[in-house]
Structure 1
């Protein structure tokens, strides 16, 4: 699944590129890619030795149902932030050991180095939004996710994982209300961008993050915080409020339907 995700995100990769991206030996990569070809999930490009996803990949999402209004509520805020500051902004939620881009404005930003699309994923342990989710999750869940991350074949730097285990990490993030990651490594342009992420909540629990990406060399990190954090926080709070309102409407709808059923009975 990791191989499939990496190829799907990049649109097409050579066998060596897949091996490096996933962090597994070349022979193992060949076996996995050939298995995915046999299953109809990948195919080799006719003109070169690159591998790309097939339309059959779409069948993997048929059983998935998204029952919240997060993307629809957040979209105007993403567009407004990019219109004002020009930098791309993304909305992400945690899926396993990754932060999944649910929506973003990279295609609308004149300052985007990469045209990321919904479905792109970044390691939970390495990205600003992942650190936000870890900081605002309960201690038992945070440690479980970190244990899982440490056990991966291509595990992140153990020092990063140990720092994230420290209760002081969570306390600091919650006190300041954001995470800044400089010189992002796990992107299509390693080291060239930095990110500021803030939390979004639903029913009292963190459900995702808003992240603004800027060029690492364009300004000091302190300047970026001063310039962009207030608007990011306002947008995140507005989304949280809208989610609460939507949740209340859904609860009322369920209650109304229940009452109607009782009357009919």
Structure 2
């Protein structure tokens, strides 16, 4: 195996587990379809995941769902919990002001993953998006913001990875996300996508995303989601971009304050240990 080339069977098994976890439960046909796998391959992967205790068949039908053991895979991951903690009050305040839901997303591999959202706080939504929902990095507003603030080395590495293991539609999007596109996003401080296809209601919502920074580096994206039929993209940007940017700036400042507080707490402990 060449260096940097993934083990295909492992990648497929992870993909199947992610699809089941995201949709709640799936039939074998749906697993094969969403995972873009031959049916026999999907069947073998499902049987392996059942053997490992990560998924189970529903009692009343031939659908497969994740088991509580899946939570153990995330026990050591706490990196972005501080982002959720610091952003929650700010995104709720923004939704109360403008009505539309706002989400906090972070990059995980070649996806943007929802960590928190205010979909449950407003009636201006078709669906509720819970932590763990994935969006393709190349074709969502938050993902393009993330790409725009990557270093050139990280960007080249990410695009190379998507070209190797990404779904066909993700690979096709590489040509559309040009250097000029990313430069424009940095200059304007936001990315917008109309009539988004990669959500629970394809073609019905549009998004505007802005970056949140920590120690001067991209940390997360705040994304405003609105009904595509309610207003055109230019109108949405004109109405809500400044409020969205201000909220992102407030979250960035809150993260900086929490970092300072944490460092202060550490120094206090160190002084107390060193005092006679």
TM-score normalised by length of structure 1: 0.94
1:67/1:75 CA distance change after superposition, 3 Å: closer
Secondary structure class of the residue paired with 2:61: coil
How many residue pairs are counted as aligned between the two chains?
Answer: 263
User: In 1, Cα distance between the equivalents of 2:77 and 2:238?
Assistant: 39
CA RMSD, 1 decimal:
1.6
Contact 2:142 2:223 in 1 (8 A): yes
Contact 1:149 1:156 in 2 (8 A): no
Contact 2:149 2:186 in 1 (8 A): yes
What's 2:209 paired with?
197
Counterpart check, 1:111 vs 2:124:
yes
Offset of residue 157 of structure 1 = 4.5
Contact 2:208 2:223 in 1 (8 A): yes
Offset of residue 67 of structure 1 = 6.7
Counterpart check, 1:147 vs 2:160:
yes
Counterpart check, 1:133 vs 2:146:
yes
1:6/1:167 CA distance change after superposition, 3 Å: same
What's 1:37 paired with?
50
Equivalence map 1:184-263=2 (5 Å): 184-263=196-275
Equivalence map 1:50-69=2 (5 Å): 50-66=63-79, 69=82
Counterpart check, 1:101 vs 2:114:
yes
Offset of residue 257 of structure 1 = 2.7
User: In 2, Cα distance between the equivalents of 1:91 and 1:32?
Assistant: 32
User: In 2, Cα distance between the equivalents of 1:193 and 1:227?
Assistant: 16
What's 2:11 paired with?
none
Offset of residue 222 of structure 1 = 0.4
Contact 1:22 1:154 in 2 (8 A): no
Contact 1:131 1:179 in 2 (8 A): yes
User: In 2, Cα distance between the equivalents of 1:207 and 1:66?
Assistant: 10
User: In 2, Cα distance between the equivalents of 1:184 and 1:139?
Assistant: 27
List runs of 5+ in structure 2 lacking aligned partners. Answer: 1-13
What's 1:182 paired with?
194
Contact 2:136 2:170 in 1 (8 A): no
List runs of 5+ in structure 1 lacking aligned partners. Answer: none
TM-score normalised by length of structure 2: 0.90
